Amino acid sequence: MGFLEAELNDVDVHSSRYGVMVSNATVNFNDCTFSCSPSSGSGIILASPSTIALTRCLIVGNNYGIISNSAHHTLNVTDCTFRKNSASAIHLSHSYIGAVTSPATLLLHRNLFSDNLRAVHVEQNVAIHVHVEAVDNVVESASVNADVQQNGIPVSGVYVNLAAAGNQARITLQRNSFRNLPHSAVSISRCYRFPLLQANQSTAVIGNNFTSISQTAVVIQCAETATTLIQSNTFLQNEMNAAGPSCLNISSREADSRSSVELRIDHNDFRENSGTYIASLTSEHSSSPRDVVVSNLSEFVSNTLVDNTARDSTVYSEYSGLPMHFNTFSNQRARFELRVGFPSDQAANCTFNWWGVGTADGIATRIFDRSDMASVGSVVYVPFLNYSQFDCDELSDCSGHGSCVYDDTCVCDVGWSGVDCSSYSCLDVYDCSNHGQCVGPNLCRCDSGWLPPDCSRASCALQTNCSSRGVCSLPNV
């Protein structure tokens, strides 16, 4: 049978097993509802390679919202809501190659993932190109059991495991909001079974908000296999009670003869987080710490780390080749601002930082290095900054709704946005789900037929709330 094309509009699918199976087809779903058994049912099953687009759909109360266990697909999901799916909202396992001419692609734009055991799970086991892009989504949890695990994988918001991939494997997470999750918000593993030659790989985590995550918010394993960008993210009130960092954990396998790749951690804001560390940069599979090869384009620069409670140190680093400049450290409840674990014959360039104190002797007490233990390397911190505030006069001092973290660079408070933090932001309420107006900090005025606080839930008040025997998918429908 040839490749089929179909379009489904305003269709409600309720089933005890599965809603729709798509095989070798191009299908557009618009304004549809999928609700199957929470113990064994799946809203959409993807079989043979297909191209699927979902727009303004509701996927609620399934076991898996969308699942594929073999083939690669192109899946484009926009303005949809995934709620209370007992396993993964989206589960894609790529383990069949076939006649592949296009990359396995997952595009997620402006979706809401609420109270799913896992929002997104991508497992890449074959050498094909893969592209994962998530932009302007909200991933939240209010009732998931934090002790639950599936197949040994801790529950998380977005989990991507690239055990294999083609020469191009791109992961982009941008302007998403992750909040109140019992496990990691983002877990990315690039520990390939076979080395890649001339690979064009990248991981970009840019402009996201991570709030109240109960385990390490962002975990990236085997970062040496791809360009890794962690930029302009906000980490607020994330708490790690057990051992481990609360916000960021980047690990690389021990250095080898392969060329180094770029690692940039810049313009991130870390505030009021707690854990053994706030950020940890480590080398795996080594009997003793050793340096990790990084590119000369790599930096830890212009980050703000303020009012965090680290039981040991704000940052732990085994990367002597990663320069740290123009960062603001002010975490008096941490034992150290920086602890290093690379070999004693190496030194890290950590100049032009504010360390929360304005003298060289005072800074020395905030850094754990060779001066404290002969078996680890040293930190070069002179010259240093002797002030904690940068100049944002051109931006009206961030309008009183943000912090000046670098010259003419504001990090806005929750509920505010813009270069000078003068505009309202409703990011934490899903930008009013395109069904309302942002009239205050995270305050929506919902359109008729939609419910606060984020205008994502339809109201069926005129239909007696479906008489408690249905799902309200659209205003009074």
Give the residue numbers spanning the domain of 447.
402-468
The dihedral formed by the CA atoms of 367, 373, 377 and 379, expressed in degrees to the nearest 10: 20
Give the C-alpha distances (Å, rounded to integers) separating 220 from 189, 193, 251, 307, 325: 6, 16, 6, 24, 22
Q: In terms of domains, do 116 and 261 share one?
A: yes
Residue 390 lies in a domain: no
In this structure, the answer to whether residues 164 and 92 fall within a common structural domain is: yes
Residue 341 near residue 319 (C-beta atoms within 8 A) = no
Q: What is the pLDDT of residues 93-125, one digit of tens each?
A: 877 665 555 678 999 999 999 999 899 999 887
Cα separation, 269 vs 282, whole angstroms: 21
Q: Which of 156, 186, 167 is nearest to 226 (CA)?
A: 167
Q: Report CA Rg, the chain.
A: 23
Of 296, 308, 297, nearest in space to 338 by CA:
308
- Identify how many contiguous H helices and E strands the chain contains and give both numbers: 1, 49
Residue 192 domain flag: yes
Q: Are residues 171 and 50 in the same domain?
A: yes
Contacts for 253 with CB less than 8 Å, ≥ 6 apart: 191, 222, 224, 283, 284, 285
Q: Which amino acid is at 454?
A: D
- In the chain, % helix, strand, coil (3-state, to 5) comes to 5, 45, 50
Residue 386 lies in a domain: no
User: Given 380, 412, 446, which residue is the final one in a domain?
Assistant: 380
474 domain-assigned:
no
What's the confidence (pLDDT) of residue 344?
Answer: 94
**316 and 251: one domain?**
yes
Q: Do 409 and 274 belong together in one domain?
A: no
**Are residues 351 and 443 located together in one domain of the fold?**
no
Cβ atoms < 10 Å from Cβ of 468: 6
415 in the same domain as 318: no
| pLDDT at position 260 | 66
For residue 120, is it within any domain?
Answer: yes
**Does residue 164 sit in the same domain as residue 276?**
yes
Question: Of the residues 380, 411, 439, which one is the last residue of a structural domain?
Answer: 380
pLDDT tens digits, one per residue of 121-148: 998 877 778 899 999 999 998 654 444 4
Q: Is residue 473 part of a domain?
A: no
Do 414 and 357 lie in one domain? The reply is: no
Q: For 317, what's the count of Cα atoms within 13 Å in the CB-facing half-sphere?
A: 27
Domain presence at residue 385:
no
Low-confidence ranges of the chain (pLDDT < 70): 1-3, 96-102, 142-156, 165-166, 193-199, 254-260, 285-295, 388-390, 405-406, 477
Q: What pLDDT shows up at residue 102?
A: 67
pLDDT at residue 460, as a whole number:
86
DSSP string across 377-396: -EEE--S----S----GGGG
Q: What are phi and psi of 375, to 5 degrees?
A: -85, -5
The pLDDT of residue 405: 64
Report whether 339 contacts 365 (CB < 8 A): no
The domain that holds 463 is classified in CATH as 2.10.25
119 with 197, same domain?
A: yes
Structural domain includes residue 27:
yes
pLDDT per residue over 278-305, tens digit each?
999 998 754 444 555 666 778 999 999 9
202 and 124 within one domain: yes
**Per-residue confidence (pLDDT) for residue 146, from 0 to 100:** 44
Whether 375 and 409 share a structural domain: no
Domain count, the chain: 2
Q: What is the pLDDT of residue 144?
A: 43
**CA separation (Å) from 123 to 165, 203, 250, 389?**
10, 16, 20, 44
